[in-house]
Chain A
Amino acid sequence: QKEVEQNSGPLSVPEGAIASLNCTYSDRGSQSFFWYRQYSGKSPELIMFIYSNGDKEDGRFTAQLNKASQYVSLLIRDSQPSDSATYLCAADTGTASKLTFGTGTRLQVTL
């Protein structure tokens, strides 16, 4: 069973702080990794993807990948209340867009 594991949270951070979301995966064949954000009652939307080891930055978001450790993370700098949502980590399965999702981590940004 190919799995993607996330802590379900909730992860609570104060406004302006850095939120760190983590994910591990079991399939060493996975090449691409994705972070989706899902607001309560809404559909998931892609915010970041990463293919290569190291860091990838996009605005306030940084995705980090360590294939040796099978570990993916998402950092959100200067967290805002509007960042409060569930963040889903996903890995490809060898077929692009056929993704295995984790259960998601619920992030709460407090005022």
Chain B
Amino acid sequence: GAGVSQSPRYKVTKRGQDVALRCDPISGHVSLYWYRQALGQGPEFLTYFNYEAQQDKSGLPNDRFSAERPEGSISTLTIQRTEQRDSAMYRCASTLGATGELFFGEGSRLTVL
């Protein structure tokens, strides 16, 4: 696609429910990153993939968070047993190579009630 596409754009869920956030990167981009951005803060690294391999998941807050990219394209970030503190904007970004030029999607805003 022309840009990084994320869905859903908005998700409201109740505490304890599982949520899945989807990211479709720019076609041909090898690397895919997940960041989380709280209001008034900069993006915070969560995890990233080169092709289908998860290279680094050190930013995932705890084991309720997981991510996959099984075919090296679309990625899913899953949050199990959501808590109110999980409420944030979840941003996906992709890049062609190791340049630091991240192309961000519009984000998925998660609200946990």
Chain A residues with a Cβ under 8 A of chain B = 4, 8, 32, 34, 36, 42-46, 49, 88, 90, 92-93, 95-104
Contact = CB atoms under 8 A, between A and B. Distances in A.
Contacts of A96: 97-100
Contacts, number: 65
Contacts of A46: 100-102
B25 interface: no
Contacts of B40: 8, 103-104
Given A43-B91, A43-B107, A95-B56, A101 B42 contact: yes
Question: Max chain A CB contacts within 10 Å: which of B41, B48, B97, B105?
Answer: B41
The dominant DSSP class at the B interface is loop
Counting chain B residues whose Cβ lies within 8 A of the other chain, the interface size class is: 20 to 34
Contacts of A103: 40-42
A97 B106 contact: no
